[in-house]
Amino acid sequence: MADTAAKREIHGVGTEESPQKVKRAKADNENGGGGVGNDPESENILSEFKTSSVLSDSAREKNIFIHGKLADREAVVILEKTPIREDSLDELFMGSKLSLEMRNDIYSTYRLQAPPQLNEIKATVVCPATEKHVKKYQRQESFLVEETGEDYQSITLPYIQKQSFSVQWVHNILEKKAEAEKIVYEDPEPEVGFVLLPDFKWDQKQVDDLYLIAIARQRDIRSLRDLTAEHLPLLQNIFQRGKEAILQRYKLPASKLRVYLHYQPSYYHLHVHFTKLGYEAPGCGVERAHLLADVIQNLQSDSRFYKSRTLYFPLRADDGLLGRFREAGRL
């Protein structure tokens, strides 16, 4: 059965963004402390970009991750072709130039040159990028790690305390210094409150690849490992109100959502991923995603579940944490 919700495009629902603004490259500064500005008509900062290497690319996903320099600063640029929207089809068919490539019997292929506004590429910029960013986006072999509760205390925790990505961007969102206009729902309550907004991987043009994140207001919960039954009200609040807000804004019912946490996350400030069921979001596989519904039930039956449980997750070959597991003879 056709999924009518999935076919729905978003016309000013959940976004007030102009095409220029959406096209705008994000130059939010991860570690440099600034970079919270939201100038809608940005100049083409990418004209200065000097490519050093292609970190990875995918013909299937139609994206490319590039390492290079922007005004002498290390940068990672991600370019991604955006999905074709049903509401743009008439304009696409009427307004494009078509050149025949081949014709054979009932088959023919063409090159279609779409009008510029229908031919956008989503560009994400990380600048200045750290070496860790470069590694994050580099295609790498992965290894599954088995982490006991003790391993977490003796190997993982000391490592992430020293080596994890800055969560300045998260604080900027919570303090409304960045992306404030994108907030879909917020609960200001300090203990159970959170902010729900589009993940920056989502261009918000169609619900097919809906991707939002709920960021907890509490700042001292690093990951799944820190959760106990004490956090159930927070998790239940995020689950319930997050689903309601998505239903209201995007008309997508809970039965169409995959709501989960990553372990390991990249950013150690508690957040929950809301993606559309059927959209294979990066990191939604069983080796990394933990359904929020399961997390809640596990904590209901054992408050220390995530303290004591052995957790499995993939790490990339050059991840420093993998090195620590190897040194400890755990791999």
Closest CB to ligand M7G among 174 and 299? 174
Task: Write down the catalytic residue from 67, 133, 271, 290.
Answer: 271
200 is an interface residue for ligand M7G by CB under 6 A: yes
Candidates 10, 29, 4; CA nearest to 177 is 29
Q: Note if 271 is an active site residue.
A: yes
Q: What are the start-end ranges of the E strands in the chain? A: 50-58, 63-70, 73-81, 97-104, 107-113, 121-126, 142-147, 185-187, 194-198, 211-216, 257-262, 271-276, 289-291, 311-316
185 is an interface residue for ligand M7G by CB under 6 A: no
Closest CB to ligand M7G among 115 and 285? 285
Choose, by CB under 6 A, the member of 10, 27, 129, 197 that binds ligand M7G.
Answer: 197
Contacts of 1 (CB under 8 A, 6+ apart): none
267 is an interface residue for ligand M7G by CB under 6 A: yes
Q: What is the DSSP letter of 153?
A: I
Residue 330 CA to residue 283 CA, distance in Å, equals 24
Candidates 167, 311, 325, 185; CA nearest to 242 is 185
Binding residue positions for substrate: 169, 179, 199, 201, 262-273
Interface region with ligand M7G, contact rule CB under 6 A, candidates 8-16, 91-99, 248-256, 259-267: 259-267
Interface region with ligand M7G, contact rule CB under 6 A, candidates 47-55, 81-89, 188-196, 260-268: 260-268
CA atoms within 13 A on the CB side of 277: 12
Distances (CA, A) of 232 to 68, 212, 226, 240, 298: 43, 21, 12, 12, 10
Closest CB to ligand M7G among 78 and 155? 78
Interface region with ligand M7G, contact rule CB under 6 A, candidates 1-9, 104-112, 192-200, 226-234: 192-200
Closest CB to ligand M7G among 197 and 216? 197
Choose, by CB under 6 A, the member of 222, 262, 276, 290 that binds ligand M7G.
Answer: 262
Per-residue binder mask for ligand M7G (CB under 6 A), 142-181, x = binder: ---------------------------x---------x--
Closest CB to ligand M7G among 88 and 215? 215
9 is an interface residue for ligand M7G by CB under 6 A: no
Interface region with ligand M7G, contact rule CB under 6 A, candidates 58-66, 93-101, 265-273, 305-313: 265-273
Residue 15 CA to residue 189 CA, distance in Å, equals 24
Contact in structure between 279 and 61 (CB atoms under 8 Å): no
283 is an interface residue for ligand M7G by CB under 6 A: yes
132-170 core/surface letters (b: 16 or more CB in 10 A; e: else): bbbebbbebeeeebebeeebbeebbeebbeeebbebbbb
Please count the other Cβ atoms lying within 10 Å of the Cβ belonging to residue 80.
Answer: 18
List interacting residues with ligand M7G (CB under 6 A).
Answer: 28, 169, 179, 197, 199-201, 213, 262, 265-267, 283
